[in-house]
């Protein structure tokens, strides 16, 4: 983003950036438990970093709009690394997300057993926008996402 480039940094650069942010957070507020994650690509990079070498002090991951596959190219290979993660995971996905078909996200999460939780946002797309006909506003959806994360974090930190 700093370069105003449309192409994201390489995974290695992203992983290093995530590790630097985690290290800073741990130094800045060492008494607080750390939950890491991100939206879409950021969540995938965070989960990859955790799978490669656990992020120091991180007690759970929140993955918003995890991108399983490119649009109209269903696949689960982008999630293969999740099996290597031993800490709790929260996935928040929209039911109309073109980058994560509903049945595929369920297929990915099922073998992760009790480590993974899934919150589905009815009618939401990859950006968590819902159609006006749903009767919900984006603020309603964001509030639902925030509530789901709050509930999950409280539960994850008790483990």
Q: Between the CA of residue 33 and those of 57, 148, 150, what are the distances in Å?
A: 7, 18, 14
Q: In the chain, how many H helices and how many E strands?
A: 4, 4
> Which tens digit of pLDDT belongs to each residue from 59-109?
999 999 999 999 999 999 999 999 999 999 999 999 999 999 999 999 999
Q: What is the pTM of this model?
A: 0.92
Q: Between the CA of residue 123 and those of 43, 53, 92, 137, what are the distances in Å?
A: 21, 35, 13, 11
Q: Give residue limits of the domains in the chain.
A: 11-158
* Neighbouring C-beta atoms of residue 80, cutoff 10 Å: 10
Which of the 8 DSSP states describes residue 54? P
- The CATH code of the domain at 11-158 is 3.40.50.1820
Question: What integer pLDDT is reported at residue 1 of this predicted model?
Answer: 61
């Amino acid at each position: 983003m700093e370069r105003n480039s449309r192409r994201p940094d390489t995974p290695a650069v992203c992983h290093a950036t995530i590790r630097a942010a985690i290290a800073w957070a741990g130094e800045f507020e060492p008494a607080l438990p750390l939950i890491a994650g991100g939206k879409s690509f950021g969540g995938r990079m965070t989960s990859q970093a955790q799978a490669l070498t656990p992020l120091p002090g991180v007690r759970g991951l929140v993955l918003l709009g995890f991108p399983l596959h490119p649009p109209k190219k269903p696949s689960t290979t982008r999630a293969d690394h999740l099996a290597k993660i031993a800490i709790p995971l929260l996935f928040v996905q929209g039911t109309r997300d073109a980058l994560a078909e509903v049945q595929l996200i369920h297929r990915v999460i099922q073998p992760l057993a009790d480590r993974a939780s899934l919150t589905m946002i009815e009618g939401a797309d990859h950006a968590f926008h819902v159609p006006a006909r749903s009767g919900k506003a984006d603020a309603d959806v964001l509030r639902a996402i925030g509530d789901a994360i709050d509930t999950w974090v409280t539960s994850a930190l008790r483990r």
